[in-house]
């Protein structure tokens, strides 16, 4: 469960926004705060001058560097001195983020005679989170969910300076955002980043932020575990949710308002950004999570330079291979790897020829997929679990060609895949480039205004349709679009299939002017060949019943 923001209505009364995450029923719920991490110094990405990038400690390159020995006083004295030194060094770099968001509230108006109907009245909500200084140019890093949908953002420094900020870049998939403030460079104290890949269990972990709006608060603990994965906040065009890899777990108390702050080591270097906790009581119980600094180092420079970050995309869903499934596929029960469950149509994996699961077995009453490719290495790096695959994939960029080592029909083989750009949640049909042999019409690009995906057997089953049902499932209809005006309906519920969430229940487009539509590429091709103003008859399935809708296409806005 994620804490979207800490909202205040009276005093410091906190209203927590809670979002249940798939697959966490056995371990509680995530309270999302904010977290980032990946690898490579920011300056090395080529998006920021070296003198402006946060420095990386030389010790981060040598995890064998000995710690300074105690020379005087008691162990407690030295610990207190160390913690005080961390606070004095890091606190000036940590800021409070205050956001204002417009909301619509139904307020009753009482005229002199009688009562008028309820009408919307504009109101405001205030929220709070944390952030930290990135460079001397005034860039501030925080979590995406802290500033999501904010109409006004203020940054309050440790010395009390209060300034308005503008949002320069966001990346929901890593839950990171960059703000910009206009203050003198002498007042800005950039953080020092550690290499989160060198973090080890048992290391000191210190969180500094603004829990429950209490500014400049420090809490202390240890690194409890490394290599965790956490569902990203944003959902892609298919309805599937992506994963943030290499997340750091800590028992340092993390609470609402810590989002976007810092988790630092004994040297005061940032190892991660606090983002989530597992808790049955909506407050810290000693299990907190932070996005690793390696992800921050990779994402933030791109947000500063371009306002967005393009994630590499393979185009599959999958799971960790377990002994029962391995045996069902004729393999040794100790075989490890990532089992491919589904392959996104026309995605990088599909174009490279990866194969999805085509069978199933029942284990302890649960139906499990079998028969797909089993990825056991990527670019020479061993893949023992699906999380291993996600973590290694995060180290590449869109356009990179990587070699996947996999098992297919009990034989080991290698396949080269050119990674694509991860689809965003704002893409609307058509989403593919115009082919060279299909020139654009003189009137411009026709527009339908939906987000959708090809039907498959699992989606069909979830909607009580035949397993071989073909067509395009409408996930979302853009307000005011041709599809909206024609009455096309989007999905209104979600189901979890193989550990991922999919939106279902919407109209299924099965024909265009009487010609069958089997999948998304066919629908996209029809839209591309059309012109604004064309009237199109769509044959759809709604609640299992066939009907027709007439849509007048428009020019893309």
Q: Active-site residue among 145, 196, 311, 507? A: 145
Smallest Cα–Cα separation from 316: which of 404, 247, 399, 203?
Answer: 404
Q: Active-site residue among 171, 175, 387, 388? A: 175
Query: Distances in Å between the alpha carbon of 222 and those of 58, 73, 143, 351?
Result: 22, 23, 22, 45
User: Known catalytic residue: 173?
Assistant: no
Is the distance from CB of 336 to CB of 385 less than 8 angstroms?
Answer: yes
Same-fold call for 312-421 versus 446-555: yes
Smallest Cα–Cα separation from 146: which of 126, 162, 161?
Answer: 126
476-504 mean pLDDT: 79
d(CA 23, CA 231): 10
d(CA 519, CA 293): 40
226-245 mean pLDDT: 65
Whether residue 495 has pLDDT greater than 90: no
User: Known catalytic residue: 259?
Assistant: yes
249-277 mean pLDDT: 92
d(CA 192, CA 81): 20
- Domain spanning 1-57+77-106+120-304: CATH 2.40.10.120: yes
Q: Where are the domains of the chain?
A: 1-57+77-106+120-304, 312-421, 446-555
**How many residues are recorded in the chain?**
557
* DSSP structure string for 138-185: -EEEE-HHHHTT-SEEEEE-TT--EEEEEEEEEETTTTEEEEE----G
Whether residue 442 has pLDDT greater than 60: no
Cα torsion angle, 316, 413, 376, 388, sign: negative
DSSP annotation of 304: H
The CATH class for the domain spanning 312-421 reads mainly beta
User: Known catalytic residue: 135?
Assistant: no
Query: Distances in Å between the alpha carbon of 336 and those of 6, 324, 375, 407?
Result: 42, 12, 9, 10
Q: Active-site residue among 93, 130, 196, 259? A: 259
Is the pTM higher than 0.85? The answer reads no
Task: Name which of 73-82, 163-172, 374-383 the model is least confident about.
Answer: 73-82
pLDDT at 281: 65
pLDDT at 282: 63
pLDDT tens string 274-297: 988 877 666 778 889 999 999 999
pLDDT tens string 319-365: 999 999 999 999 999 999 999 998 988 889 999 999 999 888 888 87
Question: 446-555: which CATH topology?
Answer: Pdz3 Domain (2.30.42)
């Amino acid at each position: 469960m994620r804490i979207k923001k800490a909202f205040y209505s009276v005093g410091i009364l906190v209203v927590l926004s809670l979002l249940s995450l798939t697959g966490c029923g056995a371990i509680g719920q995530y309270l999302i705060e904010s977290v980032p991490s990946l690898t490579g110094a920011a300056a090395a990405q080529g998006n920021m001058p070296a003198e402006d990038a946060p420095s990386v400690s030389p010790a981060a390159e040598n995890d064998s560097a000995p710690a300074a020995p105690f020379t005087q006083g008691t162990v407690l004295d030295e610990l207190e001195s160390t913690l005080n030194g961390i606070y004095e060094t890091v606190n000036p770099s940590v800021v409070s983020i205050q956001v204002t968001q417009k909301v619509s509230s139904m307020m009753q108006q009482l005229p002199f005679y009688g009562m008028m109907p309820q009408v919307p009245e504009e109101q405001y909500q205030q929220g709070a989170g944390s952030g930290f200084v990135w460079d001397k140019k005034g860039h501030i890093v925080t979590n995406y969910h802290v500033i999501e949908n904010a109409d006004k953002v203020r940054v309050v420094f440790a010395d009390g300076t209060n300034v308005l900020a503008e949002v320069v870049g966001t990346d929901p998939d890593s839950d990171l955002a960059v703000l910009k403030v206009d203050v003198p460079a002498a007042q800005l104290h950039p953080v020092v980043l550690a290499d989160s890949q060198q973090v080890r269990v048992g290391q000191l972990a210190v969180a500094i932020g603004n829990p429950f709006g209490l500014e400049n608060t420090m809490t202390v603990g240890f690194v409890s575990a490394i290599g965790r994965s956490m569902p990203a906040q944003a959902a892609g065009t298919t309805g599937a949710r992506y994963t943030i890899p290499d997340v750091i777990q800590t028992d340092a108390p993390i609470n609402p308002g810590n989002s976007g702050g810092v988790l630092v080591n004994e040297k005061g270097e940032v190892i991660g950004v606090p983002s989530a906790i597992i808790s049955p009581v909506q407050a810290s119980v000693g299990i907190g999570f932070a996005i690793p600094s390696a992800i921050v180092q990779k994402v933030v420079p791109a947000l500063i330079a371009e306002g967005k970050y393009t994630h590499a995309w393979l185009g599959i869903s999958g799971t960790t291979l377990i002994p029962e499934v391995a045996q069902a596929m004729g393999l040794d029960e100790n075989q490890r790897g990532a089992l491919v469950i589904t392959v996104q149509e026309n995605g990088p994996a599909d174009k490279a020829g990866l194969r999805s699961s085509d069978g199933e077995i029942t284990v302890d009453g649960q139906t499990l997929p079998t028969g797909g490719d089993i990825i056991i290495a990527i670019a020479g790096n061993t893949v023992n679990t699906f999380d291993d695959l996600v973590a290694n994939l995060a180290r590449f960029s869109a356009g990179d060609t990587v070699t996947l080592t996999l098992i297919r029909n009990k034989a080991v083989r290698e396949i080269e895949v050119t990674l694509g750009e991860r689809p965003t949640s704002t893409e609307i049909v058509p989403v593919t480039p115009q082919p060279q042999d299909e020139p654009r019409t003189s009137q411009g690009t026709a527009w339908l205004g939906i987000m959708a995906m090809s039907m498959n057997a699992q989606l069909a089953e979830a909607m009580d349709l035949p397993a071989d049902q073909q067509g395009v499932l409408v996930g979302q209809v853009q307000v005011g679009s041709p599809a909206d005006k024609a009455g096309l309906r989007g999905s209104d519920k979600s189901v979890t299939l193989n550990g991922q969430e999919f939106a279902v229940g919407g109209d299924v487009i099965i024909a265009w002017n009487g010609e069958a539509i089997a999948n998304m590429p066919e629908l996209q091709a029809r839209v591309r060949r059309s012109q604004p103003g064309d009237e199109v008859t769509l044959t759809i399935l709604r609640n299992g019943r066939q009907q027709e809708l007439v849509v007048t296409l428009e020019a893309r806005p």
